[in-house]
């Protein structure tokens, strides 16, 4: 076999092999206590860059094997997974190799999830990406917040999710005699896909399966919460899309209502929050509702790869919005509303960044958040989802109350804002770049054509 043929044969496995080599390399380097954390970080970044290169070098040519499949959505969502994890890998404050190992292990599971060609591979990938995250939550607590309780709650929620998926997998096997994505439309098979969809909704944190999300996001270090709200949430959305793409189950018609209900609950629950990190947790819950609504609309419109553009663009933009907001909390150490008072005068550039991120999260034009939300709502309109769309719009208006309060506290309230900013240049850069993208992406509608090329 020629070298080029050998390369093409192992190309589909390149991303997984890169991340696995990163895990092994970091583990061996971590054995030596004299090795610096910078080298561990560099190995993690190198394996992540190699994985991304292999993913985008892989042609979207359908089935690779009985276990692996590549299409435009595979590339797009791998890009979201890696982009969501990159800030945490760049700026993490860990002092040993454990956090990097767990992060790369979770990304390995996400990669296999994107390449999965059947339901059994989906389940294995789901567990591979989830188990390291439970440990990350336990080992990376927010300052002054207990994390073990949140990690245990997250673990049990994930266990329930896995049980639903496994039960659905068993029903699907009983109905069809295999683990292929395609169902036969029988009642048992519809039940099977509905149970597996519950697992995806658990992972996303949609109402009423959201009970773990606020506690976990609040108890975790803000930088880790950024990863949870972007890459991990994107994995749940991808899982739900794959199930909706191949299923004939009636659960698809319920997704818009679940998404709208999630948005309403998140908007109302966030109004009374005093801790900013918990507020951002409910904000993430509201954005999860938008994504579930978008998946429902996408499925009703035919579940095509090109039709996934609004969801992909939303997720990619949310990587910047959410990571930027959580990293701002990490950089400044603010925790209460009172900590924001007077920040606009004392730290004008930093306040402007947080204001841009808040306005983008709110969906104020012409930010990236507005364009992303408009595309989802327009797709819902085309699918004829008028009532869920009205409810979602009202929830969006309600959420403006706490997003605009952020701006008011910083610019129109008097306060000391004696923040002792730590010298975290990487975190500062991430916040600035995230704010810049959030502020200007809405001015650049041509950027959508670039995203469309990724989807093919």
Tens digits of residue pLDDT in 260-298: 999 999 999 988 888 898 999 999 999 999 999 999 999
Q: Which domain range does residue 349 map to? A: 3-455
In the predicted structure, residue 422 carries a pLDDT above the cut 70: no
Q: Looking at residue 293, what is its pLDDT?
A: 94
Of 213-217, 229-233, 417-421, least confident by mean pLDDT is 417-421
Higher pLDDT, 437 or 414: 437
Higher pLDDT, 66 or 205: 205
Q: Looking at residue 256, what is its pLDDT?
A: 92
pLDDT band at residue 10, thresholds of 50, 70 and 90? low
Model confidence over 186-195: pLDDT tens digits?
888 888 888 9
Of 129-133, 335-339, 368-372, least confident by mean pLDDT is 335-339
**Which range has the top average pLDDT, 36-45, 157-166, 175-184, 240-249?**
157-166
pTM of the model: 0.91
Residues 156-174 have a mean pLDDT of 89
Q: How many CB atoms lie within 10 A of CB 100?
A: 27
pLDDT band at residue 167, thresholds of 50, 70 and 90? very high
Total length of the chain:
456
Split into its structural domains, the chain has a count of 1
Task: Using the CB atoms, write b or e for 425-445: b if 16+ within 10 Å.
Answer: eebbebbbebbebbbebbeee
Model confidence over 299-334: pLDDT tens digits?
998 888 888 889 999 999 999 999 999 999 888 888
Whether the CB-CB separation of 77 and 6 falls below 8 Å is answered with no
Residues 167-185 have a mean pLDDT of 84
Higher pLDDT, 35 or 371: 371
Concatenate the DSSP letters of all residues of 284-349 into one string: HHHHHHHHHHHHHHHHHTT--SGGGHHHHHHHHHHHHHHHHHHHHHHHH---BGGGGTTHHHHSHH
In the predicted structure, residue 375 carries a pLDDT above the cut 70: yes
pLDDT band at residue 440, thresholds of 50, 70 and 90? confident
Q: What is the 3-state secondary structure (H, E, C) of 42-69?
A: HHHHHHHHHHHHHHHHCCCCEECCCCEE
CA dihedral 382, 387, 391, 396 (to 10 degrees): 10
Q: Looking at residue 8, what is its pLDDT?
A: 56
Higher pLDDT, 84 or 448: 84
Q: Looking at residue 151, what is its pLDDT?
A: 84
Q: Looking at residue 2, what is its pLDDT?
A: 60
Q: Looking at residue 376, what is its pLDDT?
A: 93
pLDDT band at residue 40, thresholds of 50, 70 and 90? confident
């Amino acid at each position: 076999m020629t070298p080029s043929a050998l390369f093409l044969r192992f190309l589909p496995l390149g991303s997984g092999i890169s991340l696995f080599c990163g895990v092994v390399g970091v583990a061996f380097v971590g054995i030596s206590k004299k090795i610096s954390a910078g080298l561990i970080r560099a190995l993690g970044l190198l394996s992540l860059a190699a994985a991304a290169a292999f993913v985008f070098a892989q042609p979207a040519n359908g089935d690779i094997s009985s276990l692996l499949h590549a299409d435009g959505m595979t590339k797009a969502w791998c890009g979201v997974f890696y982009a969501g994890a990159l800030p945490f890998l760049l700026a993490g404050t860990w002092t040993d190799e454990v956090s990097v190992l767990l992060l790369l292990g979770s990304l390995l599971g996400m990669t296999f999830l994107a390449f999965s060609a059947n339901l059994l591979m989906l389940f294995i990938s789901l567990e591979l990406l989830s188990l390291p995250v439970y440990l990350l939550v336990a080992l990376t607590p927010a300052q002054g917040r207990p994390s073990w309780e949140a990690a245990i709650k997250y673990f049990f929620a994930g266990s329930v999710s896995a049980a639903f998926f496994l039960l659905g997998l068993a029903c699907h096997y009983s109905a069809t005699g295999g683990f292929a994505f395609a169902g036969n439309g029988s009642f048992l098979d519809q039940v099977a896909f509905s149970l597996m969809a519950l697992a995806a909704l658990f992972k996303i944190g949609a109402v009423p399966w959201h009970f773990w999300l606020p506690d976990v996001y609040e108890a975790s270090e803000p930088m880790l919460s950024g990863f949870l709200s972007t890459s991990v949430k994107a994995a749940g959305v991808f899982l739900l899309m794959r199930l909706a793409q191949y299923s004939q189950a009636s659960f698809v018609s319920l997704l818009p209502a679940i998404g709208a209900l999630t948005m309403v609950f998140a908007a109302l629950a966030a109004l009374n929050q005093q801790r900013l990190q918990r507020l951002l947790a409910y904000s993430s819950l509201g954005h999860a509702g938008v994504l579930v609504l978008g998946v429902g609309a996408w499925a009703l419109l035919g579940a095509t790869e090109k039709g996934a553009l609004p969801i992909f663009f939303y997720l990619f933009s949310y990587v910047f919005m959410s990571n930027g907001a959580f990293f701002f909390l990490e950089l400044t150490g603010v925790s209460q509303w009172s900590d924001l008072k007077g920040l606009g005068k004392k730290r004008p550039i930093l306040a402007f960044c947080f204001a841009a991120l808040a306005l983008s999260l709110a969906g104020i034009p012409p930010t990236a958040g507005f364009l992303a939300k408009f595309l989802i709502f327009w797709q819902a309109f085309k699918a004829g989802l008028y009532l869920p769309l009205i409810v979602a719009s009202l929830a969006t208006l309600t959420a403006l109350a706490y997003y605009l309060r952020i701006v008011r506290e910083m610019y129109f309230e008097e306060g000391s804002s004696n923040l002792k900013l730590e010298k975290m240049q990487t975190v500062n850069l991430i916040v600035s770049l995230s704010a810049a993208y959030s502020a200007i992406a809405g001015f650049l509608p041509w950027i959508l054509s670039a995203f469309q090329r990724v989807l093919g």
